[in-house]
Amino acid sequence: MDNSRKIQFGVLGVVALLFVANLMGAFDGILGKKDAAADEARAAVTANAGEVSPTNAATTKAAPAAAEAPVGPLTTVKFDSNEFDYGVIDQGEKVTHVYKFTNTGSEPLIISNAKGSCGCTVPQWPKDPIMPGTDGEIKVQFDSKGKRGKQSKRVTITANTDPSQTFLTIKGEINAPEGDAIKAQPIKPAAPAQK
């Protein structure tokens, strides 16, 4: 292997290492990306749990961050409705629905993530803990651009509940203009490898 190849692999390795460190939050303190209020609320919940604390966090097995619920005592949540049917709309319209919920447990509810099943479904959720007995809202916007026919999209909510994930559905039917077929994009062949 020639030196330029070795240098390329070395640079790619360093970039990959920096990317992973950034994903793990290693640079948050250096860059000043701290949310003191959220950290304080999480610390209060964690202190009551006795499961993971700053002193024993190193000995606790970590799960993947994307699907991980906040650490601490569990609570329960009740949604007024987990499904919304927007009926029939025209292609290109945007539909917004607010899913209302109540923290029915005895511990603060911490929603760590809300993710739509595709880029056309975008949720907004409360970042601060929801205290017991308190109501909250998750706003979901669905963009029907480029869609046609019956659609059903799902939003996955991850929180300190059991199970840790709750699913919300937004569905309906989209009218597309006549003759407006969705055209498949041709797949471009990969460029030949350079030697």
H or E stretch covering 85: strand 83-90
- Report the pLDDT averaged over residues 106-127: 96
User: So what's the pLDDT on residue 114?
Assistant: 97
For residue 173, give every residue at least 6 positions away whose Cβ sits within 8 Å of its Cβ, in sequence order, or none.
Answer: 87, 88, 89, 149, 150, 151
Same domain flag for 55 and 81? no
**Is residue 11 in some structural domain?**
yes
d(CA 124, CA 140): 6
d(CA 171, CA 86): 6
Which pTM value belongs to this model?
0.58
pLDDT per residue as tens digits for the range 18-48? 666 666 665 555 455 444 444 554 444 444 4
Strands 135-143 and 94-103 turn out to be: antiparallel
Q: Which of 172, 169, 117, 183 is nearest to 150 (CA)?
A: 172
- Report the pLDDT averaged over residues 131-143: 97
User: So what's the pLDDT on residue 156?
Assistant: 98
**Is residue 89 in some structural domain?**
yes
pLDDT of residue 64 exceeding 60, the answer is: no
Identify the domain containing residue 18 by its residue range: 3-59
**Is residue 13 in some structural domain?**
yes
